[in-house]
Amino acid sequence: MIQLDSLTKVFDTPKGAVVAADHIDMEVPAGEICVLLGPSGCGKTTTLKMINRIIRPTSGKVYINGEDTTGMDTQDLRRGIGYVIQQIGLFPNMTIEENITVVPRLLGWDKARYKERAREMMAMIAMEPDAFLKRYPNELSGGQQQRIGVARALAADPPVMLMDEPFGAIDPINRAVIQDEFLKMQQELKKTIMFVSHDIDEAIKMGDRIAIFREGKLVQSSTPDDLLAAPRNAFVESFLGEDRALKRLNLVKVRDVVSDDIGCVRPDDTLEAALARIDDFGYQSSILMVNDRRQPVGIITRSVARTTKGYCRDHFLGIPASVNLDDDLRKVASLMFAHDTTWLPCVDDDGRVCGQITQRSMTRHLGSRYRALEGDVSPNATALTDTTPKE
């Protein structure tokens, strides 16, 4: 757990005093990632760097796991905090192994133990120990280097990590991969992490909480969903962007919105039966056809069912797409736009149909949060789960 109590930094510049961080009070609960977000010069990096005293606070206190760090020796404090920076900062004069084990060696671990630790860390970041440990940083790609940077920060197993735009210098494709890997690691490691970013999408992806900074002040600190649903003021709103409702699509899983009430037909059903079922369920355009294992194989459109005689197996059209329960709504929306459809079947990990998701249910789900918040319900209120209407 990291607690900041009235943390303040005033820089003396030739143009007078500049308040870079103004009485910041915040708390990162144990095991969570808190992303500090804001435009450049907003004080987020200053705040982060005051925690490990790269920047000395003018006033205020930092507590780590409940302990006041003010009286602690700077070196001891820093050795207990994992630190990852944007420029990576691997030591070019040291091998990968030496880089990873630098903190354990500072802490005086014996050789066998830190060598073993280096191999463990390499396994954790999914890099081959024998291929990389004896190499030098300049022989690695940027993405590999930052993986090593993260491994170095984690090597002594610190409970707390500070990450200053750690993935900022990596190309977008590799960045997404490293972010995913890091989140996977974090699920097991449960470190308490403070993470600086200027990228709203990264913040939404990585953060359990997001703290928005502006001109040295903490403007709003809440979960990504609350933040997007209820920005506190015009600045936060404009910083999040006009498309903040779309950004929320990232945060909601199909699982949360899916309606398990779906009507299907079998290949052996007649088109007459299909038409009756389309009417029963009140569908406007089509109905899903599944095989014996309840895997989606096609759709029967209303017009075909009405004008043709025969069995479904002879008159179905291919299904445009289906989504998994663990996909996020962003993917769903994208598929709907791509295939000009207002509903998609949802399948579980075995490919069996377990429900459907409609445009209407998505807008309902997102919209209900806004209405709940506008009605001055506490921001922690859970979203209304309504019965999803059919087309």
Q: Tell how strand 286-290 and strand 296-301 pair up.
A: antiparallel
Residue 222 CB, shortest distance to other proteins, in Å, is 28
On whether the CB atoms of residues 346 and 254 are closer than 8 A, the answer is yes
- Closest to other proteins by CB, 64 vs 153, is 153
CA 54 to chain centre: 28
Number of H helices, E strands in the chain: 17, 16
Q: How many CA atoms lie within 13 A of 122 on its CB side?
A: 21
Residue 135 CB, shortest distance to other proteins, in Å, is 9
Q: Which of residues 150-189 bind other proteins (CB under 8 A)?
A: 152-153, 162
- Closest to other proteins by CB, 87 vs 307, is 87
Dihedral (C-alpha) 65, 67, 73, 74: value to the nearest 10 degrees?
Answer: 50
In three-state form (DSSP H/G/I as H, E/B as E, the rest C), the secondary structure along 6-66 is EEEEEEEECCEEEEEEEEEEEEECCCCEEEEECCCCCCHHHHHHHHCCCCCCCEEEEEECC
The one among 6, 65, 87, 303 contacting other proteins by CB under 8 A:
87
70 SS3 class: coil
Q: Rule CB under 8 A: say whether 377 interacts with other proteins.
A: no
Q: Rule CB under 8 A: say whether 13 interacts with other proteins.
A: no
Q: Rule CB under 8 A: say whether 136 interacts with other proteins.
A: yes
Q: Rule CB under 8 A: say whether 52 interacts with other proteins.
A: yes
User: Under 8 Å CB-to-CB from 350, ≥6 apart: which residues?
Assistant: none
The one among 138, 378, 382, 387 contacting other proteins by CB under 8 A:
138
Stretch that binds other proteins, among 121-129, 134-142, 170-178, 310-318 (CB under 8 A): 134-142
Q: Rule CB under 8 A: say whether 102 interacts with other proteins.
A: yes
Q: Rule CB under 8 A: say whether 54 interacts with other proteins.
A: yes
The one among 31, 41, 89, 320 contacting other proteins by CB under 8 A:
89
Query: Which residues contact other proteins by CB under 8 A?
Result: 52, 54, 74-80, 83, 85, 87-95, 102-103, 106, 136-138, 152-153, 162
